[in-house]
Structure 1
Amino acid sequence: MGTLPDDEIALAETALLLARLDAPWADWRRAQSHLSVLAREAAELRDWVGSDAQEQAEALAGMLACRHDYSGDYETYDDLRNVNLIHVTERRRGMPIGLGIVWLHCAEVAGWDCYGINFPSHFILGITGEDSQAVLDVFSGGRIMEAEDLDAMLERLDQARKPARGLALADRMGKRDVLVRLQRNIAYRREGAGDLPGALACLEDMLRIAPADITLWQQAAVLHQKLGQIASAVRSMERVVALIPPGEDAERARAAMRRLRSRLH
């Protein structure tokens, strides 16, 4: 999957495989069956929903939030079940990224141009119709967000460096980006809980998805160092050096690699 073009990635199927790795005891067949039910219902939406982005967003909200009761988990937000697709489909609850994969799966089956938006600290979706675009918050049941809502969120994060309207239009995420962001949520929480081996395992899954991501190789090197796995840290930095473009960053990466190699002797 790491070598596939982005548009050939089966988003929900891959997220389900990652969920099985993370929770091999969970009932993945039930989750797969439920995703198939959602796909059939989403295919039916094509027959009566037009090309307007807001209509498409409202149709998805009616199907997922109203009929199937998908919503954000406000009470136990940091529960890792909220980013495991098997558990998300069981509980109908999740973090924005966990829910978003379900919405993206349904929108793709319906044939609509729906995508993740790389918004700081909160995963949201965009839908582009023939003459319009809608931005929706899957965590709040698919509420359609206006530019003022996005600006307010950026102000709360103190990251209002570019207008939300431009951010929503420009920061479109591919399927690979979405899967990596899903796994980042897991790795971040595992590392915060002191589970460094678990965080590293999650990073290694991300590298299978995105083997050319320099930042992931750098993070892997750091975790290997923290775990005392210096030879593995060196190999990770070797990948950074092989991938990074020439320049000051490349020189710093080579220097870091030399320092790590010196610790092997």
Structure 2
Amino acid sequence: MSAHKLFLSEIRKPAEEIEIELCALLFASALATETDVDGTIRSLDEQVNGFLAKHPEYQENAPFNSDYLIGVVGDILGYRGDSLEYFSPDNSLLNRVVETKLGIPISLAAIYVAVGRRLGITVHGVSFPGHFLIRIVEPDGTGTLVDPFSHKKIGKDEQNALVGAATQSFGYFDQSWIANAHPHDFLVRMLENLKNLYLHAKDVGSVMLCLDFQLLLKPDDERFLTQLQALRDNTAGDRGQGRLN
């Protein structure tokens, strides 16, 4: 079955059953044919299982809270934000992120979701403008906002400062900025990052693939439909880049 069909099958599941990491690997496999989807899933499993095998005390006596998950992802597994090559496509393609353990906020957010699921901890994406965040569900049901790039918790004062700065920049406040993102919105934003990178590189084929997957998630989104039509209209003359704004 093609990556597109497998992706469509996964995103049709109820939101709580959608595996972000699988979806991200499926569109990565369309963009980079050498991507080993099953192999990367196994690598994630092995990373978590290897950690538990070496540190059984973390499983037996673990609080399974945000501190625990941050420690596993950042300290034990060694994932970290890549400040030096931030805009490298490798930091947005999840197979490469699992291999290098380097990423940007949204790809590291996907790692948190994937590792959290394997440890029984629920993690939600938070589509804050400019810097994707996560919310880790604590044992008592409350949520803790975390920056997946720095592995730092975001307290109320810092959250208010971030919201204030974004509100001033955009001229308005949108509650969705700090709400739990639906997996579809999480994936659309991952694809948007990749699309912009490929657009900058003038890789028309990859831009079109990103749009194809975005339209599987949001089939009626006028912005994506317009971009795809502009690309199709101009591909023959190799003039489509400038109209994808």
Q: Please, what TM-score do these two structures have when normalized by structure 1?
A: 0.72
User: What residue is the counterpart of 2:241 in the other structure?
Assistant: none
SS at match of 2:194: helix
* Cα drift, residue 42 of structure 1: 7.5
Query: For residues 224 and 149 of structure 1, do their structure 2 counterparts lie closer, same or farther at Cα, with a shift above 3 Å needed?
Result: farther
1:48 maps to amino acid: N
Could you tell me which of 159, 162, 166 is aligned with 2:170? Answer: 159
User: What residue is the counterpart of 1:49 in the other structure?
Assistant: 62
User: What residue is the counterpart of 1:177 in the other structure?
Assistant: 185
Question: What are the superposed Cα offsets for residues 228-259 of structure 1, whole Å, 9 maximum, x if unpaired?
Answer: 69xxxxxxxxxxxxxxxxxxxxxxxxxxxxxx
SS at match of 1:162: coil
* Cα drift, residue 8 of structure 1: 2.8
User: What residue is the counterpart of 1:132 in the other structure?
Assistant: 142
* Cα drift, residue 225 of structure 1: 3.5
* Cα drift, residue 118 of structure 1: 1.4
* Cα drift, residue 46 of structure 1: 6.2
User: What residue is the counterpart of 1:73 in the other structure?
Assistant: 82
Q: Does the 8 Å contact 1:107/1:114 carry over to 2?
A: yes
SS at match of 1:7: helix
1:96 maps to amino acid: P
Could you tell me which of 204, 211, 236 is aligned with 1:203? Answer: 211
Query: For residues 223 and 32 of structure 1, do their structure 2 counterparts lie closer, same or farther at Cα, with a shift above 3 Å needed?
Result: same
User: What residue is the counterpart of 1:236 in the other structure?
Assistant: none
Could you tell me which of 87, 100, 106 is aligned with 1:97? Answer: 106
Q: Please, what TM-score do these two structures have when normalized by structure 2?
A: 0.77
Q: Does the 8 Å contact 1:117/1:124 carry over to 2?
A: yes
Q: After the TM superposition, which of the residue ranges 115-124 and 146-155 deviates more from structure 2?
A: 146-155
* Cα drift, residue 106 of structure 1: 1.6
Aligned-partner Cα distance in 1 for 2:163–2:16: 30
1:37 maps to amino acid: E
Could you tell me which of 11, 33, 42 is aligned with 1:33? Answer: 42
Task: Choose 1 or 2 for highest CA Rg.
Answer: 1
1:161 maps to amino acid: Y
* Cα drift, residue 159 of structure 1: 3.4
Query: For residues 9 and 195 of structure 1, do their structure 2 counterparts lie closer, same or farther at Cα, with a shift above 3 Å needed?
Result: same
User: What residue is the counterpart of 2:243 in the other structure?
Assistant: none
1:49 maps to amino acid: A
Aligned-partner Cα distance in 2 for 1:138–1:160: 26
User: What residue is the counterpart of 1:255 in the other structure?
Assistant: none
Figure out how many residues of one structure are paired with residues of the other and give that number.
221
Aligned-partner Cα distance in 2 for 1:226–1:78: 26
Q: After the TM superposition, which of the residue ranges 121-130 and 67-76 deviates more from structure 2?
A: 121-130
User: What residue is the counterpart of 1:240 in the other structure?
Assistant: none
Q: Does 1:192 align with 2:200?
A: yes
Q: Does the 8 Å contact 2:20/2:114 carry over to 1?
A: yes
* Cα drift, residue 192 of structure 1: 2.4
Identical positions, percent? 23
User: What residue is the counterpart of 2:6 in the other structure?
Assistant: none
Query: For residues 174 and 163 of structure 1, do their structure 2 counterparts lie closer, same or farther at Cα, with a shift above 3 Å needed?
Result: closer
Question: What are the superposed Cα offsets for residues 160-201 of structure 1, whole Å, 9 maximum, x if unpaired?
Answer: 73398x842xx2112222122111111112112322332112
2:188 maps to amino acid: V
User: What residue is the counterpart of 2:3 in the other structure?
Assistant: none
2:126 maps to amino acid: I
Q: Does 1:6 align with 2:15?
A: yes
Q: After the TM superposition, which of the residue ranges 106-115 and 83-92 deviates more from structure 2?
A: 106-115
